[in-house]
Amino acid sequence: MLGFILKRLLLIIPMALIAVSVTWALIRVAPGTFYSSEKKIPAAVEAKLREKYGLDDPWYKQYGIMLSNIARGDFGISLKYEGQPVNEIIARHLPYSAVIGLLAYLLALAIGLVAGTIAALRQNSAFDYASMAAAMLGLSVPNFVLGPLLVLVFSFWLYLLPPARWGGFTSLILPVVTLAAIYAAYIARLTRAGLLEVMRSDYIRTARAKGLSERSVILRHALRGGLLPVVSFTGPALAALLAGTVVVEKVFAIPGLGNIFIQSVLNRDEPLVLGIVAFISVLVMIFNLIVDIAYGFIDPRIRYE
């Protein structure tokens, strides 16, 4: 098991470097530079800029420099926001995304697990149809529709919650709910499907045949297997959430990592883009590793060498 973990951890660095390399190539191929604007920049200024950032060096030299810096963990300084190291920028905006992402996922788990379990246990009941219909809605309504809709109801009709911006507990409610909706829907459906399948298994029949109460059957015997799909789903979902979701952050003006990321791409701010890409790759891989380990704990048939 330890060997397995170690191997996966070691893989993270080369994988992240690959992701960074591909991103680097894409940025270079995309036309436009970080300093382009509608007004032409004086030629001498442009020459100086290009010299300062080594933009006229051969591409393999630039690539090599970038790679060796990143491998040492040095992501450099933002091109657009002078004097701000990329690491600082990421560290500063990550907490906003992380808090909202985490709260959203916890809410999604709470709603999704409960709804999915009840729906599975009361299959084809009114609750089952209602909750699966709601889940369908949650999956199909995009969050740039749901967000403003919630703002309309809760900020303007009911005057209960602030319409945007970060500040105080009440300002978190709408963005968290908007974000949680789609995940709750996914989790409810996954839980329901997983649980239904498990409930059909022979070992559930055995458990009942042993005279166990339905409660014990569900809690002790069914849930473990039934929740495995949700565990798998959590890894990448949580990583994506922590890295920030652009739409919700834009609609609610949250200074999170998703917002920064999109801006940095539009600004062609290469160090920042690469830094965030590296960060997200590492995050995703670590979360996947955690999920795989958790999977191994839940399902004893899976053993890692």
Partner 1 sequence: MNRSVGKILSFSLIAALLFSVLSCSRVDSGNYFGRTVPPDDNVLRYVSGAEPESFDPHISSGQPEARIYMALFDGLVENDPKTLLPIPAIAKSWQISSNVDVFVFKLRDNAKWSDGTPISANDFVYSFRRGFDAETLSRTASLGYFIRYSEDFNNGDVFVKKDGRFLLEHEVNGTEPYTVNAFGPETEFAKFINGPTRLTLPGDEKERAKLFEKDEKLRMAVDGAEFVPVSAEDIGVEAVDDMTLRLTLRQSAPFFLGLLAHQFFRPVPRHIVEKHGRDWTKPENIVTNGAFKVKHHRPYDELFVIKNENYWDAENVHLDGIKFYPIDENATILNLYKGGAIDAFLNHSVPASWIDEVRQYKDEYLDHPENATAYYSMNITKPPFDDVRVRRAFQMSVDRDALSNYRKVTKPLYDLTPAGIFPDYDKARAMVSEEMRVEKKKTPEEWAKYNRFDPAEARRLLGEAGFPVEGSEGNFACPKFPTDSVSLTFNTNENNRMVAEFMQAQWKRHLGITVSLKSQEFRTFLKDRNDLQYTGLAQSLWSGDYMDPFTFLGLHYGRQNDGGSGFADKEYDRMLDEANSELDFQKRYEKLARAEAYVMDKLPVVTLSIYATNWLKKPYVKGMYPNPGTLHPWKFVYIEKDPAKWDRNVDNIMAESNPRTTAQLEELKRTMTQN
Partner 2 sequence: MTDNGTILTVNDLRTYFRTEDGVVKAVDGISFELKKGETLGIVGESGSGKSVTNLSVMRLIPEPPGEIVSGEIIFDGTDVRALSIDEVRKIRGRRIAMIFQDPMTSLNPFLKISTQLMEVTQLHLGHTKEQAYEHGVKMLEMVGIPDPRARMDGYPHELSGGMRQRVMIAMALSCDPELLIADEPTTALDVTIQAQILELIKDLKARLGTSVILITHDLGVVAGMTDKIIVMYAGKVFEQAPTRELFSRPANPYTKGLLRSVPDPAYEQGEPLYQIPGLPPDVAHLPPGCPFAERCDRAEDICRREFPPFVEINAQHHSLCHFAKEVYGQG
Q: Which two tokens stand for residue 236?
A: 């990448």
Least separation in angstroms between CB 38 and partner 1: 7
Q: Which residue, 129 or 203, has its beta carbon nearer to partner 2?
A: 203
Binding residue for partner 1, selected from 3, 39, 73, 300, defined by CB under 8 A:
39
Q: Which residue, 49 or 293, has its beta carbon nearer to partner 1?
A: 49
301 touches partner 1 by CB under 8 A: no
Burial of 273 (0-12, 13-18, 19+ CB in 10 A): buried
The interface partner of residue 210, options being partner 1, partner 2, none and the CB cut-off 5 to 8 Å by kind, is partner 2
Give me the residue label for tokens 């995309």: 30
Give, as ranges, the residues between 188 and 247 that touch partner 1 (CB under 8 A): none
One-letter identity of residue 282: V
How far apart (Å, rounded) are the C-alpha atoms in residues 170 and 162?
7
How far apart (Å, rounded) are the C-alpha atoms in residues 243 and 158?
32
Query: What sign does the CA torsion over 107, 108, 113, 115 have?
Result: positive
Among 97, 74, 33, 138, smallest CA distance to 275 is for 74
Binding residue for partner 1, selected from 15, 121, 163, 228, defined by CB under 8 A:
163
Q: Which two tokens stand for residue 34?
A: 């970080």
How far apart (Å, rounded) are the C-alpha atoms in residues 286 and 280?
10
The interface partner of residue 156, options being partner 1, partner 2, none and the CB cut-off 5 to 8 Å by kind, is partner 1
In contact, 258 and 195? CB cutoff 8 Å: no
Binding residue for partner 2, selected from 38, 56, 82, 202, defined by CB under 8 A:
202
Convert residues 211-250 into a mask of x (bound to partner 2 by CB under 8 A) and - (unbound).
Answer: xxx--x---xx--xx-------------------------
90 touches partner 1 by CB under 8 A: no
One-letter identity of residue 137: L
262 touches partner 2 by CB under 8 A: no
Contact residues toward partner 2 (CB under 8 A) are 201-203, 205-213, 216, 220-221, 224-225, 298-301
